[in-house]
Every structure is written in C-alpha cells, then in structure tokens.
Amino acid sequence: MTIKSLDPRITRAEIPVDNESTWTPLPDMDQHETYEVFHQEKRGDQPTHVGALHAPNPEMALVFAKEQYARRSRCVSIWVVRTQDIHTIGIEDSDVFETTPAKDYREARGYRVGGKLTEFKRRRAASNE
C-alpha cells in the first residue's frame, strides 16, 4: 500500500506506508504558526489588516509580510501578530461598552467651541478690512 496525497507528486512516488523511515505522521501543531499582517500606507494612517501568512517565527513573519504585502504596494510600516494572540469582544457582548452612557467629553462636539470659533473668525475678518 502506498501513500495517497492531495499532492500528485507524492502519490506518483508510490511511497510505501509501512516504511517508517520515509513517512511518519507529524505531531499536532507541528506546522508553522499563523500571523495576521497589518500595514500603514503612509505616515499618520491607521494600520490596516491586509492578510495572514504562515511563518516559523516572528522574524520570518516580518520578512514574509514585507515580501508579500509591501513589495508592490506603498507601505511605511508593517506589523505581524500571532493569530492566537488576538482576542476580541463579539457583538453579542456589546453591553460591556455601556459603562459610561454620556461620552461627549471624548468627542469634539462635546466641547462648545464652534460658536466661539465663528465669532473669532468674524472679528478677525472685520479687523483686517
């Protein structure tokens, strides 16, 4: 009996299954880790998720990410993160964000400076005439 594989080259080689020296199954998690890749197109932009890749370690993940995601497109910064290190809060748990109902202090509209700014511009224009 020979090894049957999705790769036709391995199937054509007709490697016997009982020959332990040529074929041993890999233990679980013996593959490269998956890394998520983020990059910035220009300074000041938010990092954008551009894809995922497999690499043996973080240093090689950076090299692979540069070659795959920054070679042809514009890029000033690139980040790689192990997929298993990304944790999220799903939409079903969105109630955790409702700790402070009024967050106007975080928004520009929370500060009432629009009227003052308009008045300042009007006075400045009047003084320049």
SS (H, E, C) the chain: CECCCCCHHHHHCCCECCCCCCCCCCCCCCCCEEEEEEEECCCCCCCEEEEEEEECCHHHHHHHHHHHHCCCCCCCEEEEEEHHHCCCCCHHHHHHHCCCCCCHHHCHHHCCCHHHHHHHHHHHHHHHC
Whether 25 shows a pLDDT value over 70: the answer reads no
So what CATH class is 31-87? alpha beta
* Mean predicted lDDT score pLDDT of the chain: 82
Question: Which tens digit of pLDDT belongs to each residue from 39-53?
Answer: 999 998 999 999 999
* pTM, to two decimals: 0.53
**Region 114-120 average pLDDT:** 84
